[in-house]
C-alpha cells in the first residue's frame, strides 16, 4: 500500500520545481489544480487545469474484456507472403491483438481505415504487417508513416527491421536532431518505407530531397498528438504532396473533433475500427499522492523510489528545464536517473532511453515527448510529478505501464 502523505483539510504546498497548488472553487464538484512551474528561477504562470481527483484514482479499470477476446484469425491465416509469416513466427507472435485482428484484413484489401485502440495494444504491428507485405509484393510501392516524436519513429523503424528481415525492403527514419544529409543519402536509395516527424519531412520536401507524389500509402500514427504539438499545417502540406489516389490509415488511442475534420478531408470512405471501451488500460492501478503542507514533493518522491517495487519508474514533468533539474536532483540523491526532453540532442535522448530500457537506469524523467507510442517493457510505475495538461495526456502517460498484459501502477502528485 502506498504511504498516504495527505493531511485532511489542508492544501498541499510543495517547494522546488514543478509544485502544484490546489485551489477549491465553491459551488463546483471538481477540485481544480493549478500547475506552477519555474523557468530560470522565475515562476511561470499556467492555466488552471480542471481535473476531478477521482480521475487519478482507479483500482479496477476495465476497458477491454481481453480475457474474453477470441481472435477471428491467427497470424498464419492472413493473406501475406510466406516469408513474412516466418518473420512473424520468429518474433514469437501466434495470435493477433484485437486491433490487429480487426484491422489487418481491411488494410490488406486496400481500405482506408481509422483505428482506435488503447495504448500498448499492437497498433504498430496492425499497420506494419500488411504494409510490409504490400511493399514486398510490389517493389515500387512507397509507404509514408508520419509520427509525432523522434523516439516513436525510431521504434517503428526497429519493428520494421524485425519484421522485414530477409525480405530485402528498406526503411529510413527521417527525424530532427540528427544530421539531415545522411537522411538525404538514404532517401536516394529508394527505401520502401519513410518514417518521419512532420518538421523534418517538411524540411526534406522544401529541399526537394523527398518527392511524395509516388507515395500511395500513408499512415498517421498518434495523429491527435501531432495536432496537440501544432503540426496541423505541416500535416496538411505533407498529405497534399502524396499521391491523390492512395490508401490512408489513421491510428490513435483518442479521436478529437479536429481529427474528425482531417478524416473527412483526407480519407476516402474509411473503415472505422474501435477496440477500446474506456480510456485507460485495465492493468493500470491508479492512485494519487497528496502533498501535505510543509512537505517537499522531492522528499516524498525519494521515499517512494527507495521501495523495492519501484524497480523501473517513468516520471513525467511539465517543462524541459524542470525535467532536467529533477533528474539531476535524483542523481544527487543516489538514484540512477536519465532524462528525455526537447532540449537534448537526439543521440543523448536515444542513449537515455536505451539505458532505461536495458535497466541500467531505474528512473527516466521525461516531458510528454515520451507519453505517446513508446513501448518500454516492464515499467513498474508511472509517476505524474507534474499534472498533465489534458485528460488525453494523462491517458497516454499512464499507458506506458501495464503493457502486454502485465500489471502497472500510476501515481499522480496533487
Domain boundaries, the chain: 20-62+280-413, 69-274
Q: What is the pLDDT, as a whole number, of residue 281?
A: 57
CATH class of the structural domain 20-62+280-413: alpha beta
Give Dmax over CA atoms of the chain in angstroms.
Answer: 67
C-alpha cell at 315: 516520471
- Going by pLDDT thresholds of 50, 70 and 90, the confidence category of residue 275 is confident
Instruction: Flag whether pLDDT at 70 surpasses 70.
Output: yes
Q: What is the pLDDT, as a whole number, of residue 6?
A: 43
Average pLDDT over residues 203-223: 94
Average pLDDT over residues 115-142: 90
CATH class of the structural domain 69-274: alpha beta
151-181 confidence digits (pLDDT tens): 889 889 999 999 998 898 999 999 998 899 9
Q: Do domains 20-62+280-413 and 69-274 have the same CATH topology?
A: yes
Instruction: Flag whether pLDDT at 52 surpasses 90.
Output: no
Average pLDDT over residues 193-213: 96
- Going by pLDDT thresholds of 50, 70 and 90, the confidence category of residue 127 is very high
Share of the chain above pLDDT 90, in %: 51
Q: What is the pLDDT, as a whole number, of residue 121?
A: 78
Span of 64-68, 246-250, 284-288, 309-313 with lowest mean pLDDT: 64-68
Q: How far apart are CA 411 and CA 180, in angstroms?
A: 39
The distance from CA 327 to its chain's CA centroid, rounded to whole angstroms, is 21
Model's pTM, two decimal places? Answer: 0.65
Mean pLDDT, the chain, integer: 81
Distances (CA, A) of 387 to 28, 42, 132, 161: 20, 19, 39, 36
Q: What is the pLDDT, as a whole number, of residue 188?
A: 92
C-alpha cell at 157: 523503424
C-alpha cell at 369: 515527448
Q: The cell 473503415 sits on which residue?
A: 271
Please provide the DSSP assignment of 261-323 as one string: HHHHHH-SS-EEEE--SSSS-TTEEEEEE---TT--HHHHHHHHHTSTT--SEEEE-SSHHHH
Instruction: Flag whether pLDDT at 72 surpasses 60.
Output: yes
- Going by pLDDT thresholds of 50, 70 and 90, the confidence category of residue 372 is low
- Going by pLDDT thresholds of 50, 70 and 90, the confidence category of residue 53 is low
Yes or no: say if 176 and 185 are a contact pair by the CB < 8 Å rule.
no
Share of the chain above pLDDT 70, in %: 79
Contacts of 153-158 with CB under 8 Å at 24 or more apart are 153/195, 153/196, 153/197, 154/350, 155/124, 155/373, 155/374, 155/375, 156/124, 156/128, 156/195, 156/221, 157/193, 157/195
Query: Given strand 20-23, what is the order of strands in its sheet?
Result: 20-23, 32-35, 48-50
Q: What is the pLDDT, as a whole number, of residue 41?
A: 34
Q: What is the pLDDT, as a whole number, of residue 11?
A: 34
Q: What is the pLDDT, as a whole number, of residue 369?
A: 76
Q: What is the pLDDT, as a whole number, of residue 295?
A: 82
Average pLDDT over residues 87-102: 91
- Going by pLDDT thresholds of 50, 70 and 90, the confidence category of residue 66 is very low
Q: How far apart are CA 401 and CA 397, in angstroms?
A: 8
Amino acid at each position: 500500500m502506498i504511504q498516504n502523505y495527505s493531511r485532511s483539510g489542508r492544501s498541499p504546498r510543495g517547494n522546488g520545481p514543478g509544485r502544484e497548488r490546489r485551489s477549491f472553487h465553491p459551488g463546483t464538484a471538481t477540485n481544480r489544480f493549478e500547475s506552477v512551474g519555474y523557468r530560470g528561477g522565475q515562476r511561470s504562470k499556467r492555466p488552471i487545469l480542471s481535473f476531478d481527483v477521482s480521475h487519478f484514482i482507479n483500482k479496477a479499470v476495465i476497458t477491454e474484456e481481453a480475457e474474453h477476446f477470441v481472435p477471428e484469425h491467427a497470424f498464419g491465416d492472413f493473406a501475406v507472403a510466406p516469408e513474412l509469416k516466418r518473420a512473424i513466427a520468429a518474433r514469437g507472435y501466434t495470435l493477433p491483438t484485437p486491433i490487429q485482428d480487426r484491422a489487418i484484413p481491411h488494410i490488406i484489401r486496400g481500405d482506408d481505415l481509422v483505428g482506435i485502440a488503447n495504448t500498448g495494444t499492437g497498433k504498430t504491428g496492425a499497420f506494419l504487417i500488411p504494409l510490409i507485405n504490400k511493399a514486398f509484393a510490389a517493389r515500387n510501392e512507397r509507404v509514408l508513416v508520419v509520427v509525432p516524436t523522434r523516439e516513436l519513429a525510431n521504434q517503428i523503424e526497429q519493428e520494421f527491421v524485425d519484421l522485414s528481415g530477409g525480405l530485402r525492403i528498406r526503411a529510413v527514419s527521417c527525424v530532427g536532431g540528427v544530421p539531415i544529409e545522411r537522411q538525404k543519402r538514404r532517401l536516394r536509395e529508394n527505401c520502401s518505407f519513410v518514417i518521419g516527424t512532420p518538421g523534418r519531412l517538411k524540411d526534406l520536401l522544401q529541399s526537394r530531397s523527398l518527392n511524395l507524389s509516388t507515395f500511395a500509402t500513408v499512415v498517421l500514427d498518434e495523429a491527435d498528438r501531432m495536432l496537440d504539438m501544432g503540426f496541423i499545417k505541416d500535416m496538411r502540406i505533407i498529405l497534399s504532396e502524396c499521391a491523390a489516389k492512395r490508401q490512408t490509415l489513421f491510428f490513435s488511442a483518442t479521436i478529437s473533433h479536429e481529427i474528425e475534420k482531417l478524416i473527412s478531408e483526407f480519407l476516402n470512405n474509411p473503415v472505422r475500427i474501435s477496440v477500446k471501451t474506456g480510456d485507460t488500460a485495465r492493468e493500470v492501478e491508479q492512485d494519487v499522492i497528496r502533498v501535505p503542507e510543509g512537505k517537499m514533493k522531492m522528499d516524498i518522491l525519494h521515499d517512494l523510489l527507495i521501495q523495492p517495487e519501484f524497480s523501473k519508474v517513468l516520471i513525467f514533468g511539465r517543462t524541459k528545464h524542470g525535467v532536467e533539474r529533477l533528474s539531476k536532483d535524483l542523481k544527487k540523491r543516489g538514484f540512477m536517473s536519465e532524462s528525455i526532453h526537447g532540449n537534448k540532442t537526439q543521440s543523448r535522448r536515444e542513449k537515455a532511453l536505451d539505458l532505461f530500457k536495458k535497466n541500467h537506469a531505474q528512473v527516466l524523467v521525461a516531458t510528454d515527448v515520451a507519453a505517446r507510442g513508446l513501448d518500454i517493457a516492464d515499467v513498474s510505475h508511472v509517476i505524474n510529478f507534474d499534472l498533465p495538461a489534458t485528460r488525453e495526456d494523462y491517458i497516454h502517460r499512464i499507458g506506458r505501464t501495464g503493457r502486454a498484459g502485465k500489471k502497472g501502477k500510476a501515481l499522480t502528485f496533487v
